[in-house]
Amino acid sequence: DQQVKQNSPSLSVQEGRISILNCDYTNSMFDYFLWYKKYPAEGPTFLISISSIKDKNEDGRFTVFLNKSAKHLSLHIVPSQPGDSAVYFCAASRGTNAGKSTFGDGTTLTVKP
Amino acid sequence: DAGVIQSPRHEVTEMGQEVTLRCKPISGHNSLFWYRQTMMRGLELLIYFNNNVPIDDSGMPEDRFSAKMPNASFSTLKIQPSEPRDSAVYFCASSSRTGANSPLHFGNGTRLTVT
C-alpha cells in the first residue's frame, strides 16, 4: 500500500504561468510534509516543508498548501521558470524525524520557454 | 560546504560479487540515511543512523545488505553477494538534527548495475 501518492507522473506548463503539483497521503499519522526537487544525475534537494498545524507555507515563488481533512497537499510555483524543470517529490513523516520520510513517486515538471 | 559525498558515482559488477558504497555526510550532521531508488519501488529508506548508531534498519531488504558508520564522517553500505535485482540508485543523506524537523541533504547517488 503506497502511503504517499503523486498521481500525475508529469506536468507541462508555460514559462510565467502557475505550476501546481499534487500529493495525496493515506496515513493520518503523518504530520510533517516536505517537497524535494531533483535534477538528473543529482540527489534530491529540499524545497519547502509544512507542519500539520499549518495549512499554508510560502517561500518566494513556492507555496505549499495542506488540506488535512482531504489528506492532500499541493505545491504551487508562481511564476514558473524553465530552471524549475525537474522531478518533484512529495515526502511525509511522522513525529519529528523528517529524515525517516515516505516518498511519493515524483512528478516530472517541464516548464516551456 | 561540500555537501554529502558519495562514491563511486557508478558501479558495474557481476552477480555474486561484493559491492561497497561509501558516504561522507555533511560535517556536523548527526543523522545519516541510506535510501534506494528503483523504478518499481521509488525512493525507499533502507537504514538510518543517529550519532553513528543504527536506529532503524527495517528497510534493509535482506541479510545480504549491511551498513556501518564507524565514525561521524563515514558510512558504508555493503551488498554481499550482489544480485541483478539490487540494481538501483543508492542515495546517502544526512540531516543536522533528529527529534526536529530537519530536512535531508542528499548526495548525488551511486548508480549500481549488477549483471
For the ranges A41-50, B11-20, B99-108, which has the lowest average pLDDT? B99-108
CA distance B97 to chain A (A): 8
pLDDT at B1: 63
Option in B43, B95, B101 nearest A89 (CB): B43
pLDDT at A84: 98
B99–A106 CB contact, under 8 Å: no
Q: How far apart are CA B53 and CA B10, in angstroms?
A: 27
Option in A42, A49, A104 nearest B101 (CB): A49
Residue B98 above 80 pLDDT?
Answer: no
Q: How far apart are CA A40 and CA A7, in angstroms?
A: 21
CA distance B108 to chain A (A): 4
Average pLDDT estimate for B54-65:
92
A96 burial via Cβ count (<10 Å: 0-12, 13-18, 19+):
middle
Which of B43, B51, B89, B90 is best to mutate for the A interface (most A CBs within 10 A)?
B43
Average pLDDT estimate for B35-60:
93
Residue A74 above 80 pLDDT?
Answer: yes
Q: What's the grid cell of residue A81? A: 521558470
Option in B43, B45, B103 nearest A46 (CB): B103
Average pLDDT estimate for A77-101:
90
A41–B33 CB contact, under 8 Å: no
Instruction: Specify whether the CB–CB gap between B29 and B95 falls below 8 A.
Output: yes
B43–A44 CB contact, under 8 Å: yes
pLDDT at A94: 87
Mean pLDDT, chain A, whole residue set = 94
Neighbours of A73 (CB within 10 A): 24
Average pLDDT estimate for B61-81:
96
Q: Which residue, chain included where needed, has cell 557508478?
A: B10
Residue A22 above 60 pLDDT?
Answer: yes
Q: How far apart are CA B88 and CA B90, in angstroms?
A: 6
pLDDT at B102: 83
B81 burial via Cβ count (<10 Å: 0-12, 13-18, 19+):
middle
Residue B100 above 70 pLDDT?
Answer: no
CA distance B73 to chain A (A): 18
Q: How far apart are CA B32 and CA B104, in angstroms?
A: 9
Q: What's the grid cell of residue B80? A: 554481499
Residue type (1 letter), A65? F
Residue type (1 letter), B60? M
B106–A45 CB contact, under 8 Å: yes
pLDDT band at A33 (very low <50, low <70, confident <90, very high): very high
Residue A2 above 90 pLDDT?
Answer: no
Instruction: Specify whether the CB–CB gap between A34 and A25 falls below 8 A.
Output: no
Residue A103 above 70 pLDDT?
Answer: yes
Residue A20 above 60 pLDDT?
Answer: yes
Q: How far apart are CA A77 and CA A49, in angstroms?
A: 14
pLDDT at A100: 83
